[in-house]
C-alpha cells in the first residue's frame, strides 16, 4: 500500500505537498503545557530555530499548535492561542521553505493563520467548533479531519466502542460530507484516525492493526503517534524513552498506506521512511 493511490499533489496555499511518497510532519508546540515539550518552543525565536532544524532534517510540513490537547489540558482563549501562534506562523512563512500546518480548532486562528501564510488546517475537533467549517472553507486551504469523542479534558473518561475501526471510519465519512456541503471539496481533505484521543490502549492497537480500512474513504491518511501513551503503556516507557516504539509505528503506518506521519523526532523518522521507500522501489 502506497500514497500513489491518491492524487500526488495537495495544494497547500502557495506550496504543493507531494503525496507520491510518504511525508514527515514535524511537531512545533508553542504552548507551556504540551505533554512532551511544553514551554521549550513557546518563544518566537526558539520556535523558529526548532522549525529550521526540522526542515533541515527533512520535514515537509511544520505543525504549529497553540493549544495543548493532552488529556486534562486546560482550555485556551482564542486570543491567547492567536497570540502564541501568529508570530510563529509569520516568522516561519517569511524564513523557511516549508508547508505550515495550523494545529487548531479556533476559527480566528484559521483565518489569521491562512492570511499569514499557513498551508493546511489540522483540527483535532474536525471543524466542529462554531464557525470552524466556514473559516476553513473561506481559507481555501486543505484540512485534516481527526476522530475524537468529547473534548481533550474529558476524552479519556471511559471511551467505549462496539467496533472502533468501523466507528472511526463512519465518523470521518460524516465529517467529510459536512465539509463538502460547506464548500470544502473532497480533494482538499486529509483524514486522521486520532490515536490517543478518546481511545484506550486496546482501541488504539486494534485501530492501528486495521488502519487500511480508512482507505475506503478515498483520502490521504495522517497518523500521529509520536511519544504517545499507547507506546508507554505497551512498552512500559516514559515519554522520552519512546523513540524506538514511535519509529516502529511510523514505519508500520507507512507500510499500511499512511501518507503523512506527524512526529517529534524528525531526523530518525525521515530515515525510516526513506529506507522503506528504498526497499519498495527496488526491482
* Catalytically annotated residues: 228, 262
- The Cα 198–Cα 256 span in angstroms is 22
CA of residue 143 relative to chain centroid, distance: 10
Alpha helices (runs of H) in the chain, residue ranges in sequence order: 44-56, 78-95, 107-116, 132-139, 164-181, 201-209, 229-235, 243-255, 266-280
- CA 42 → CA 106, 169, 181, 244, distances in Å? 19, 35, 37, 27
- CA-nearest of 22, 129, 27 to 70 is 27
Amino acid at each position: 500500500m502506497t500514497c500513489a493511490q491518491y492524487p500526488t499533489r495537495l495544494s497547500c496555499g502557495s506550496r504543493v505537498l507531494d503525496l507520491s511518497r510518504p511525508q514527515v510532519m514535524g511537531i512545533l508546540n508553542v504552548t507551556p503545557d504540551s505533554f512532551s515539550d511544553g514551554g521549550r518552543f513557546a518563544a518566537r525565536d526558539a520556535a523558529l530555530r526548532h522549525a529550521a532544524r526540522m526542515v533541515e532534517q527533512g520535514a515537509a510540513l511544520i505543525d504549529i499548535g497553540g493549544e495543548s490537547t493532552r488529556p486534562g489540558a486546560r482550555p485556551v482563549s482564542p486570543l491567547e492561542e492567536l497570540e502564541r501562534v501568529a508570530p510563529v506562523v509569520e516568522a516561519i512563512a517569511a524564513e523557511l521553505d516549508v508547508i505550515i500546518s495550523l494545529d487548531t480548532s479556533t476559527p480566528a486562528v484559521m483565518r489569521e493563520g491562512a492570511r499569514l501564510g499557513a498551508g493546511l488546517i489540522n483540527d483535532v475537533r474536525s471543524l466542529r467548533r462554531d464557525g470552524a467549517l466556514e473559516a476553513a472553507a473561506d481559507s481555501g486551504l486543505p484540512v485534516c479531519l481527526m476522530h475524537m469523542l468529547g473534548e481533550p479534558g474529558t476524552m479519556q473518561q471511559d471511551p467505549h466502542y462496539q467496533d472502533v475501526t468501523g466507528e472511526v471510519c463512519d465518523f470521518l465519512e460524516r465529517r467529510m460530507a459536512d465539509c463538502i456541503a460547506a464548500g470544502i471539496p473532497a480533494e482538499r481533505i486529509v483524514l486522521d484516525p486520532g490515536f490517543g484521543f478518546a481511545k484506550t490502549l486496546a482501541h488504539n492497537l486494534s485501530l492501528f492493526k486495521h488502519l487500511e480500512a480508512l482507505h475506503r474513504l478515498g483520502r490521504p491518511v495522517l497518523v500521529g503517534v509520536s511519544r504517545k501513551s499507547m507506546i508507554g503503556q505497551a512498552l512500559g516507557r516514559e515519554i522520552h524513552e519512546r523513540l524506538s516504539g514511535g519509529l516502529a509505528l511510523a514505519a508500520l503506518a507507512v507500510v499500511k498506506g499512511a501518507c503523512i506521519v506527524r512526529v517529534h523526532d524528525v531526523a530518525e523518522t525521515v530515515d525510516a521512511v526513506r529506507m522503506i521507500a528504498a526497499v519498495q522501489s527496488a526491482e
